[in-house]
């Protein structure tokens, strides 16, 4: 059976991958959070090696299984009669082929079982990595939210200072105008005009700044 040498050569490889997987799972128990990326890379490498070996042996094992079934079918068709003192052809072939076939089946089962173990370990590591990424993303979002709130407070402070500064200059201009009106023969208290203009100017400047901010906000939403 041509698949037997291949099965015998794959057995040490499977043992090596099994031992490596055991070592990785032991590390997962202790350092999974810190070494998740490294462990995932190692398990991925082991899975790739296993799949390469499985792909290489798939055709041989399948052909051997089909050949073994054909041999058994032909032996049954012969309908041999047992003869004392001699071994039948069916018994001879079964004694030669059955152990080799069991070896091939054992290798196939070990490959399938090991593949399932690697898949479970990979899924577990990916889950841990996803949880860690979600935690990092949440931290970043919280940090961005804090920065946005700080930026908003800073913007409001700057707007307040801008309103105060602009109002100061506008009220000053009104005061200068009020003081200069008497040159045209108009007499009234410039201090009263300046005092009355303060709330009007502050309110007007505040409304203008609010409208500008609202317009910019609408433009940002449309973009």
- pTM of the full predicted structure? 0.56
Each residue's pLDDT tens digit, 29-62: 776 667 778 888 888 899 998 888 888 887 788 7
Cα 105 to the chain's mean position, in Å?
37
| Region 98-105 average pLDDT | 82
Question: Widest CA span of the chain, in angstroms?
Answer: 151
Is it the case that residue 182 has pLDDT exceeding 80?
Answer: no
For residue 208, is it left (φ>0), alpha (ψ between -120 and 50) or beta?
alpha
Is it the case that residue 115 has pLDDT exceeding 70?
Answer: yes
Q: How confident is the model at residue 74 (pLDDT cuts 50, 70, 90)?
A: confident
209, 162 contact by CB (below 8 A) = yes
């Amino acid at each position: 059976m041509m698949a037997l040498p291949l099965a015998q050569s794959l057995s040490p490889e499977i043992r090596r991958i099994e031992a490596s997987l055991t070592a990785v799972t032991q590390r997962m128990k202790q350092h999974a959070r810190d070494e998740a990326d490294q462990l995932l890379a190692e398990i991925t490498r082991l899975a790739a090696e296993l799949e390469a070996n499985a792909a290489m042996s798939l055709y041989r094992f399948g052909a051997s299984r089909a050949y073994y079934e054909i041999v058994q079918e032909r032996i049954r068709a012969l309908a041999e009669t047992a003869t004392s003192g001699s071994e039948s052809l069916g018994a001879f072939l079964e004694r030669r082929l059955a152990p080799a076939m069991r070896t091939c089946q054992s290798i196939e089962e070990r490959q399938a079982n090991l593949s399932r173990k690697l898949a479970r370990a990979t899924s577990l590591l990916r889950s841990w990595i996803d949880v860690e990424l979600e935690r990092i993303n949440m931290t970043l979002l919280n940090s961005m939210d804090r920065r946005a709130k700080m930026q908003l407070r800073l913007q409001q402070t700057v707007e307040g200072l801008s309103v105060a500064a602009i109002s100061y200059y506008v009220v000053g201009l009104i005061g200068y105008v009020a003081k200069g009106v008497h040159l045209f023969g108009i007499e009234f208290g410039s201090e009263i005009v300046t005092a009355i203009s303060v709330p009007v100017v502050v309110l007007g400047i505040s409304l203008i700044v609010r409208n500008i901010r609202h317009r910019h906000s609408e433009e940002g939403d449309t973009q």
